[in-house]
Amino acid sequence: MNTQVFERALRNSQPDAGQVIERKTDKATFDLKAYLSEKRVEVEAALDQSITVVYPEKIYEAMRYSLLAGGKRLRPILCLASCELSGGTIAMAMPTACALEMIHTMSLMHDDLPAMDNDDYRRGRLTNHKVYGEDIAILAGDGLLAYAFGFIVEKTKDVQPTHLLQVVSKLSYAVAATGLVGGQVLDLESEGKQNIDVETLKFIHAHKTGALLEASVLSGAILAGANQDLLQRLTHYARNIGLAFQIVDDVLDVTATTEELGKTAGKDEKAQKVTYPSLWGIEESKRQAQNLVDEAKAELSPLGEKAIPLCAIADFITARTN
């Protein structure tokens, strides 16, 4: 595909601000809405089959309650798209894609607990602890986290064992104090402090939000046996979209409604959190997010047609409304 056609396909894949609109497809266009909904259907089906309810039923029901509560399924879709870009198949990546969603979901469940962010709503329904109680919500989160790793190892087929080990290792460090957990600790410690600078904020979000997004992109590529050059490009792409994702999240917390978000809006201000909009203002935050998305896409443009889905997903990150 020549550069002009690639640019045109990318332009056509860009959703208008605030919504993802349907586009007619021909050979040179890419229908992001159709792509996301097709992948979501595949992910939902795989997630539904990933955990069945057995004795003791309550814990499995609690795990399924949050895992199957919807959500954008961005992390699994990034993993699948990155695996395909790197020459692999959906089947190779689906167990890891499901595991990423299990881990993401458990992090939301724990984040919603009264000891952490304390929210009653998530993905448009009552949070896990509001339905099952704090004790079961903690255990259901633990159950999802531990199960995710076994699920990858047991269910992944046609992947070199060394690649599988790399994925398990990457994912584990993305969750540990080197990733999500570390970012969350610093986030909790920063609440109510007004002297948090941009560098600290970046550290928090690179760990709390960025690490799992990066692991999502890279794990798909590793499963497919991507070379170092491609892994490096994808790392830059992932870091840029990870930060952009969090900046947009902060903006939406101010600009979107509780109904749109499916969780309580305006929480950052209430918790006296320093955020990108509080440091830069809303317009500058949006501009910075767009710059990061543009950089992410530029990193992948030498890959041509294959990179169209990941570039379109980058655009979706700034255009999303929840």
Q: Where does this chain bind ligand GRG (CB under 6 A)?
A: 71-72, 74, 104, 107-108, 110-111, 116, 123, 145, 175, 180-181, 184, 208-209, 249
Residue 288's closest CA among 205, 214, 183? 205
HEC string of the chain equals CCHHHHHHHHHHHCCCCCCCCCCCCCCCCCCHHHHHHHHHHHHHHHHHHHCCCCCCHHHHHHHHHHHCCCCCCHHHHHHHHHHHHCCCCHHHHHHHHHHHHHHHHHHHHHHCCCCCCCCCEECCEECHHHHHCHHHHHHHHHHHHHHHHHHHHHHCCCCCHHHHHHHHHHHHHHHCCCCHHHHHHHHHHHCCCCCCCHHHHHHHHHHHHHHHHHHHHHHHHHHCCCCHHHHHHHHHHHHHHHHHHHHHHHHHHHHCCHHHHCCCCCHHHHCCCCCHHHHHCHHHHHHHHHHHHHHHHHHHHHHHHHHHHHHHHHHHHHHCCC
| Least distance (Å) between residue 316 CB and ligand GRG | 11
Using CB atoms within 10 A of its CB, is residue 301 exposed (0-12), middle (13-18) or buried (19+)? Answer: middle
Nearer CB in complex with ligand GRG: 108/243: 108
| Least distance (Å) between residue 283 CB and ligand GRG | 21
Nearer CB in complex with ligand GRG: 88/183: 183
Nearer CB in complex with ligand GRG: 235/321: 321
Nearer CB in complex with ligand GRG: 72/236: 72
| Least distance (Å) between residue 231 CB and ligand GRG | 23
> CA 58, CA 65: separation in Å to the nearest integer?
10
| Least distance (Å) between residue 43 CB and ligand GRG | 11
Nearer CB in complex with ligand GRG: 88/141: 141
Nearer CB in complex with ligand GRG: 110/297: 110
Nearer CB in complex with ligand GRG: 74/289: 74
Nearer CB in complex with ligand GRG: 90/181: 181
| Least distance (Å) between residue 68 CB and ligand GRG | 12
Residue 104: partners with Cβ closer than 8 Å, 6 or more residues away = 71, 75, 212
| Least distance (Å) between residue 208 CB and ligand GRG | 5
Nearer CB in complex with ligand GRG: 67/164: 67
Residue 260: count other Cβ atoms within 10 Å of its Cβ.
Answer: 13
| Least distance (Å) between residue 297 CB and ligand GRG | 20
Cβ–Cβ under 8 Å, residues 26 and 13: no
| Least distance (Å) between residue 144 CB and ligand GRG | 10
| Least distance (Å) between residue 228 CB and ligand GRG | 28
